[in-house]
């Protein structure tokens, strides 16, 4: 252990200890799995097999979704496996942190595709994992999944009678005492992972006749048990089809990993997945994310902390001349205002739904804003990626509540955002909304005479002479954000009489337009009521941000309550997340 300095003990198993260590040469944090040889032949065989598996998996290259083995050595009676450190911990714990102990469907699909690809890779290299579980999938600093812990792995052509792993994930054939195929056992465990990512709990406590849920499942099937637990709405149709094929009780009928990877649910997920790009070696800059109206936005990594950040570079020249870099458009964004707003809203505490500004500096004729990196990008892009370019109503409600709370926080600190839109709301690694881009923010109590922002979101009064109150304009924009999340498109191109839809809206109102467009089913009665109050043409009559948060649509939203209501299904499995499972 001379090369590694122990930072802390992370876990202790029956014959091993997991240590967080620092490489004294590179200063890199690593995981060291320490196995004591005096525990006998079985421990030694597990170590050798784990080394053999890792060697096979890294024969040509490292798989992006498998924990990398960095080094192995023997020292003072212990075998040591040195592995990459996944800073965001177990997927198990990340699931437990979610409001309903489950992931939003697209995030669940993305994670499942990554894990499935890793399992498929392991099988292709001739091994079965044999202990696939949420506890053995880890999240790195970019929240990418990494399959690890190959201590129970065996060659695929091996047969076994004994059951290993955690009971939630064990297939029915493990409890029969007969030989079973290892690859099909992995497929069952992977199916249980998908079920848990989508619903928040395991399908059964134990897949044998002693378990009541399993007996019901064996007789009536997966769809019936999901309807009985009232969780069928949580599972997309393609996911349900795949689960039915992965969770066949008869392993001979159960599909293999090759068929899993060809299933439409996985193929679609692969198309949606956006892997983290590799940084340029020796450089802090990764790539340009976007051209800003007055500069550029860069994805970077801090050389000292290794933290991934976004740096907004703003040229001094256009800031002073008030023209864009192409000299074609008037430029209203202000570096000074952006700095001021961030200094106010982050002076005492960082709001969980506002993009954090870490620091600012000037260099080579540019102002630089070092900002929090929201790895899931713009909310606009996320909405566009949905099957019908709109969010599920519950997800839209949760996101809206987060955005509304952020806007209240901004208003309470004396500013209007001035450019609230789906493009200026970002999703972090945990799929939480973060309001950002304060370049067009203004003091809340000023009267504005210049129209700013994007036409879709601009309030009617912005197009009128005589000035407007930016706080009220923020409310209108917030209403358009909710409308787009629920329907997939803006209400009109421009809130001006020259727009035919707006002219109709002036005469007949929101309810009539929704009915004419045959999209009434997209809205709950509460959502439609709130929108009707936010999208009032006369700004003086428009609902306030405080009243929005008191409206039942937001007040009843589980995302913003400390203890969301739980279904019978979740209460039944409450103990699953109250204690850890060990081998």
User: Which tens digits make up the pLDDT trace of 301-342?
Assistant: 877 777 888 888 876 554 444 433 333 334 445 677 788 888
**182-186 average pLDDT score:** 96
pLDDT above 60 (res 569): no
Per the CB < 8 A criterion, the answer to whether 344 and 392 are in contact is no
Q: Which of 147-161, 167-181, 279-293, 446-460 has the lowest mean pLDDT?
A: 279-293
pLDDT of residue 159: 80
Per the CB < 8 A criterion, the answer to whether 90 and 138 are in contact is yes
Q: Calculate the average pLDDT of the chain.
A: 85
Helix, strand, or coil here: 336?
helix
- Fill in the DSSP letter of residue 2: T
pLDDT of residue 13: 73
Distance CA 370, CA 436 (A): 12
Per the CB < 8 A criterion, the answer to whether 255 and 245 are in contact is yes
Cα within 13 Å of Cα(397), Cβ side? 21
Length reported for the chain: 583
Beta carbons within 8 Å of 411's beta carbon, 6+ residues apart: 444, 471, 474, 545
What is the separation, in whole angstroms, between the first and last Cα of the chain? 26
**Phi/psi of residue 259, nearest 5 degrees:** -75, -35
Distance CA 403, CA 316 (A): 31
**Which strands make up the sheet holding 357-363, listed edge to edge?**
285-292, 295-301, 308-315, 366-372, 357-363
Helix, strand, or coil here: 76?
coil
Measured CA angle at 438 (ends 435, 443), to 5 deg: 115
Beta bridge partners, 155, equal 127
Distance CA 466, CA 309 (A): 41
Instruction: Output the DSSP codes for 186-229.
Output: HHHHHHHHHHHHHHSS-S-SSSSTT-HHHHHHHHH-HHHHHHHT
Helix, strand, or coil here: 258?
helix
- Fill in the DSSP letter of residue 284: S
Per the CB < 8 A criterion, the answer to whether 192 and 218 are in contact is no
pLDDT of residue 79: 86
**433-458 average pLDDT score:** 89
pLDDT of residue 316: 56
**101-127 average pLDDT score:** 93
pLDDT of residue 466: 84
pLDDT tens figures, 17-70: 899 999 988 888 999 998 877 655 555 557 788 888 888 887 767 899 999 999
pLDDT above 70 (res 268): yes
pLDDT of residue 34: 87
Strands of 37-152 (E only): list them.
69-75, 78-84, 127-128, 137-139, 145-147
pLDDT above 90 (res 183): yes
- Fill in the DSSP letter of residue 330: B
Q: What DSSP element (H or E) covers 295?
A: strand 295-301
Domains parsed from the chain with CATH numbers: 4-84 (3.30.200.20), 91-276 (1.10.510.10), 285-372 (3.30.200.20), 389-560 (1.10.510.10)
> Looking at per-residue confidence, does 483 or 304 come out higher?
483
The rounded Cα 155 to chain-centroid distance in angstroms is: 34
Quick one: which of 437, 424, 435 has its CA closest to 369?
Answer: 437
- Model confidence, pTM: 0.57
Quick one: which of 429, 386, 564, 501 has its CA closest to 141?
Answer: 429
Percentage of the chain beyond pLDDT 90 is 55
Band (576; pLDDT cuts 50, 70, 90): very low
pLDDT of residue 572: 44
Beta bridge partners, 370, equal 311, 359
Q: How many CB atoms lie within 10 A of CB 249?
A: 15
pLDDT above 90 (res 254): yes
């Amino acid at each position: 252990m001379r090369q590694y300095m122990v930072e802390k003990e992370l876990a202790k198993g029956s014959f091993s200890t997991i240590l967080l260590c620092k490489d004294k040469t590179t200063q890199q944090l690593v995981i060291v799995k320490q196995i004591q040889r005096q525990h006998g032949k079985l421990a030694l065989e597990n170590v050798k097999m784990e080394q053999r598996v890792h060697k096979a998996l890294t024969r040509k290259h490292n798989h992006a979704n498998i924990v990398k083995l960095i080094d192995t050595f023997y020292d003072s009676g212990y075998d040591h496996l040195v592995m990459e450190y996944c800073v965001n911990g177990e997927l198990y714990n990340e699931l437990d942190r979610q409001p309903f102990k489950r992931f939003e469907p697209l995030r669940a699909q993305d994670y499942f595709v990554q894990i499935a690809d890793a399992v498929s890779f392991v099988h292709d290299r001739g091994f079965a994992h044999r202990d696939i579980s949420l506890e053995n999938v880890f999240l790195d600093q970019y929240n990418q999944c990494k399959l690890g812990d190959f201590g129970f792995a065996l060659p695929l052509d091996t047969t076994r009678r004994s059951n290993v792993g955690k009971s939630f994930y064990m297939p029915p054939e493990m409890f029969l005492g007969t030989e079973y195929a290892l690859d099909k056992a992995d497929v069952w465990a992977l199916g249980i992972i998908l079920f848990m990512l989508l619903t928040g709990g395991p399908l059964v406590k134990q897949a044998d006749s002693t378990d009541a849920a399993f007996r019901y499942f064996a007789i009536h099937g997966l769809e019936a048990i999901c309807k009985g637990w009232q969780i069928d709405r949580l599972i997309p149709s393609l996911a349900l089809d795949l689960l039915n094929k992965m969770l066949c009780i008869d392993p001979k009928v159960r599909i293999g990993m090759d068929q899993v990877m060809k299933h439409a649910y996985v193929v679609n997920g692969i198309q949606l997945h956006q892997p983290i790009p590799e940084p340029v070696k020796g450089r802090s800059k990764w790539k340009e994310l976007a051209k800003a109206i007055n500069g550029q936005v860069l994805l970077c990594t801090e050389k000292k902390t290794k933290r991934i950040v976004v740096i907004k570079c703003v040229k001094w020249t256009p800031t002073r001349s008030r023209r864009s870099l192409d000299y074609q458009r008037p430029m209203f964004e202000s570096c000074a205002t952006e700095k001021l707003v961030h200094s106010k809203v982050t002076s005492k505490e960082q709001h969980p739904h506002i993009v954090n500004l870490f620091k600012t500096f000037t260099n080579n004729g540019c102002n630089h804003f070092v900002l929090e990196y929201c790895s899931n990008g713009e909310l606009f892009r996320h909405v566009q990626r949905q099957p019908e370019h709109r969010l599920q109503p519950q997800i839209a409600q949760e996101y809206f509540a987060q955005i509304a709370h952020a806007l209240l926080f901004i208003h309470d600190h004396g500013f209007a955002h001035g450019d609230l839109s789906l493009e200026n709301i970002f999703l972090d690694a945990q799929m939480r909304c973060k309001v950002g881009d304060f370049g067009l923010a203004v003091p809340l109590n000023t009267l504005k005479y210049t129209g700013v922002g994007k036409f879709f979101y601009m309030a009617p009064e912005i197009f009128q002479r005589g000035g407007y109150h930016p706080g009220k304009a923020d409310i209108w924009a917030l209403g358009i954000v909710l409308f787009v999340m629920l329907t997939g498109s803006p209400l009109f191109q421009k809130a001006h009489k020259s727009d035919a839809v707006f002219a109709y809206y002036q005469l007949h109102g929101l309810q009539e337009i929704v009915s004419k467009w045959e999209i009434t089913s997209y809205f709950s009665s509460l959502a439609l009521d709130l929108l009707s109050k936010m999208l009032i043409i006369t700004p003086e009559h428009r609902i306030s941000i405080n009243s929005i948060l008191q409206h039942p649509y937001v007040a009843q939203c589980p995302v913003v309550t400390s203890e969301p209501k739980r279904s019978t299904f979740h209460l039944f499995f409450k103990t699953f997340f109250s204690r850890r499972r060990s081998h």
